[in-house]
């Protein structure tokens, strides 16, 4: 099943709803605030944030931010779930409830989940909401079974998610280091052989870059991978913006593209990870995996704090912008072909269409994202 055809999970109880959250996020949350945005009876957006410290200045900021993001999704109501001990969850839920109500949204329920039990903050009837909490086992839930059958995986925690974008180590890292040295020598040879009509060698770099991108696409589309030398060559060429932008505008909404840029990011040498990190963030966002996109942005900014594409994707994720923002403005390879191709310098992807244009949420899938403030927002 492709990421554009998600399973339809039927939720019949509070326990089912809680059991569905890890599959919507992609991992089991802990010490977290989760908001489920609902339109009619459908969950249309899921946001997660770390539990703020009680009484800390970031508590109200986090609540206002999450409420504003949900409001922009066109949702009518929310369910709030806090994961953790009551002394940390209760103040956060209280603040978030107030922010959501100020945003004009209805609250279906507000819950706390701790150690296999849940409590409702909006029910005090002992027969259905006992003071000791209600035990539940997500492993036995029909929702979990349906999600697993459909091929969806809930990782054990967020650390497991970030592990999916962590750099390779050991022998794999040593091999990539040697391959990157050879790629640098290959680049020098390419530049030295550039014709007189290409004094800077940029035309040669663009040509080599597109060949490298197409080779990578062909390999990963069929389930293969790149050998170290070809992958190192690609990471080096991606440092040139024309090559990076050509790769960027070719990204559709396919799972193999997420696999491609995940592998390139993990194997890229330090100093060469920002571009594949930004491309992975975009590919993950396009298929609705905001949690992975957020992890990719963090990797890219750790490699280059000023990398503009990663900063743009941080703004997109923090703003809760849906992939449908590209429905009218994105020029995919297929659409370029129908137009008969283009000449001249490639247009960079339309950042204004991502960061500024007001759009309606996508109706095709539940989107989820993991909120981590961008460096600029955190200042």
pLDDT exceeding 90 applies to what percent of the chain? 49
Among 50-59, 171-180, 286-295, top mean pLDDT goes to: 171-180
The predicted-structure confidence for 252-264, as pLDDT tens digits, reads as follows: 889 999 999 999 9
Give the Cα separation of 275 and 119 in Å (integer). 44
Interaxial angle between packed helices 308-318 and 290-303, expressed in degrees from 0 to 180 and rounded to the nearest 10: 150
Domain ranges of the chain: 14-156, 167-360
Q: What is the pLDDT of residue 356?
A: 31
CATH number of 14-156: 3.40.140
Give the Cα separation of 248 and 47 in Å (integer). 25
The predicted-structure confidence for 192-219, as pLDDT tens digits, reads as follows: 988 888 888 899 999 999 999 999 999 9
Q: How far is CA 127 from CA 72, 108, 131, in A?
A: 37, 19, 10
Determine how many CB atoms are found less than 10 A away from the CB of residue 181.
Answer: 12
The predicted-structure confidence for 17-62, as pLDDT tens digits, reads as follows: 998 898 888 889 999 999 998 887 788 888 888 888 877 777 888 7
Q: What is the pLDDT of residue 250?
A: 94
Assess contact for 242 and 202: CB atoms under 8 A: yes
> Average pLDDT, stretch 152-170?
88
The predicted-structure confidence for 87-116, as pLDDT tens digits, reads as follows: 999 999 999 999 889 888 899 999 999 999
- The secondary structure of the chain, three-state, reads CCCCCCCCCCCCCHHHHHHHHHHHHCECCCCEEEEEEEECCEEEEEEEEECCCCCCCHHHHHHHHHHHHHHCCCCCEEEEEEECCHHHHHHHHHHHHHHHHHCCCEEEEEEEEECCEEEECCCCCCCCCCCCCEECCHHHCHHHHHHHHCCCCCECCHHHHHHCCCCCCHHHHHHHHHHHHHHHHHHHHHHHCCCCCCCCCHHHHHHHHHHHHHHHHHHHHCCCCCCHHHHHHHHHHCCCHHHHHHHHHCCCCCHHHHHHHHHHHHHCCCCCCHHHHHHHHHHHHHCCEHHHHHHHHHHHHHHCCCCHHHHHHHHHHHCCCCHHHHCCCCCCHHHHHHCCCCCCCCCCCCHHHHHCCCCCCCCCCCEEEEECCCHHHHC
Q: What is the pLDDT of residue 370?
A: 53
Q: What's the pTM value of the predicted model, to 2 decimals?
A: 0.76
Question: In the sheet where 117-120 sits, what is the strand order?
Answer: 134-135, 117-120, 106-114, 77-83, 32-39, 42-50, 367-371
The predicted-structure confidence for 109-151, as pLDDT tens digits, reads as follows: 999 999 999 999 998 888 888 999 999 988 777 777 777 766 6
């Amino acid at each position: 099943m492709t990421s554009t055809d998600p399973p339809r999970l039927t939720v019949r109880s509070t326990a089912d709803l809680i059991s569905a959250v890890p599959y919507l996020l992609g991992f089991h949350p802990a010490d977290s605030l989760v908001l489920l945005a609902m339109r009619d009876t459908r969950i249309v957006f899921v946001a997660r944030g770390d539990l703020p410290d009680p009484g800390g200045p970031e508590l109200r900021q986090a609540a206002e931010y999450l409420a504003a993001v949900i409001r922009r999704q066109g949702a009518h109501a929310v369910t709030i779930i806090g994961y953790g001990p009551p002394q940390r969850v209760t103040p956060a839920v209280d603040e978030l409830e107030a922010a959501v109500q100020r945003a004009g949204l209805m609250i279906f329920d507000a819950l706390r989940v701790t150690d296999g039990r849940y409590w409702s903050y909006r029910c005090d009837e002992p027969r259905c909401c006992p003071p000791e909490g209600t035990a539940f086992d997500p492993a036995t839930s029909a929702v979990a079974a349906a999600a697993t059958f459909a091929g969806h995986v809930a990782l054990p925690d967020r650390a497991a998610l970030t592990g999916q974008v962590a750099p390779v180590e050991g022998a794999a890292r040593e091999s990539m280091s040697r391959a990157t040295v050879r790629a640098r020598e290959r680049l020098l040879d390419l530049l030295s052989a550039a014709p007189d009509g290409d004094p800077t060698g940029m035309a040669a770099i663009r040509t080599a870059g597109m060949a490298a991108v197409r080779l990578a696409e062909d390999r990963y589309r069929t389930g293969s991978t790149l050998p170290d030398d070809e992958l190192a060559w690609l990471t080096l060429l991606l440092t040139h913006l024309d090559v990076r932008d050509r790769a960027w505008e070719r990204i559709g909404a396919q799972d193999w593209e997420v696999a491609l840029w995940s592998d390139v990011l993990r194997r890229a040498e330090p100093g060469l990870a920002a571009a594949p990190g930004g491309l992975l963030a975009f590919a993950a966002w396009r298929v609705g995996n905001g949690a992975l996109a957020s992890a990719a942005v963090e990797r890219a900014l750790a490699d280059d704090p000023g990398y503009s594409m990663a900063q743009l994707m941080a703004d997109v994720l923090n703003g809760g912008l849906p992939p449908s923002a590209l429905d009218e403005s994105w020029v995919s390879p297929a659409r370029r072909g129908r137009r008969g191709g283009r000449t001249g310098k490639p247009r960079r992807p339309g950042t204004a269409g991502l960061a500024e244009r007001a759009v309606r949420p996508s109706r095709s899938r539940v989107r989820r994202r993991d909120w981590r403030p961008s460096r600029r927002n955190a200042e």
